[in-house]
Amino acid sequence: MTHFKKIDRLTLSWLVLIGLTAVTLLFARHGDAGGSVGIAGAALLLALAVAKGREILLHYLELDQAGPGWRLAMTGWLVLLCGVILLVTTAGALGWIGPH
């Protein structure tokens, strides 16, 4: 615990970003082998993207210092964009929209 306190917030963000990217590496290996990730896989990948984007917005871009309006607007953009991508991907996987 005392060791943990020596890590400042920025370094913690970097470690979180590297850790989350390591998780996507598992998907990368699966994908390089030619597999589909499915709806749950797509949801997890986009959730990881939101988590990474949030670290970048709040701690690299310092929106944690910029007030609730900016935080909401920028994380809102991130969540909305990934949400729309998931919605479109799910609609395709379920056959609601598609080539046929």
Partner 1 sequence: MADIEMRGLEMRGPELTGPEERAGGLAALPGNLMMWILIFSELAVFGAAFIGFAVARVLDPATFAAGQAHLNGTAGALNTMVLVTSGYLAARGVAAGRRGAVAQARRAMMMAAAVGSVFLAVKAMEYSATLGAGLTIDTDTFFTLYFLLTGFHALHVVLGIVILLLVSRSGPETMPETLIENLETGAAFWHMVDLVWVILYPLVYLIR
Query: What is the spatial distance between Cα 82 and Cα 87, in angstroms, rounded to a whole number?
Result: 9
Query: What is the spatial distance between Cα 79 and Cα 58, in angstroms, rounded to a whole number?
Result: 14
**Contact criterion met (CB below 8 Å) for 82 and 44:** no
Distance of closest approach, residue 47 Cβ to partner 1, in angstroms: 10
Q: What does the per-residue mask of binding to partner 1 show for 26-65, with x meaning CB under 8 A?
A: -xxx-xx-x-xx---xx--xx-xx--xx--xx-xxxxx-x
Token duo for residue 63: 């929106």
3-state secondary structure of 86: helix
Report angle CA 21, 23, 28 to the nearest 5 degrees. 85
Distance of closest approach, residue 79 Cβ to partner 1, in angstroms: 11
Q: Does 76 bind partner 1 (CB under 8 A)?
A: no
Residues of this chain that interact with partner 1 (CB under 8 A) are 8-11, 13-14, 17-18, 21-22, 24-25, 27-29, 31-32, 34, 36-37, 41-42, 45-46, 48-49, 52-53, 56-57, 59-63, 65-67, 70, 77-78, 81-82, 84-85, 88-89, 91-92, 97-99
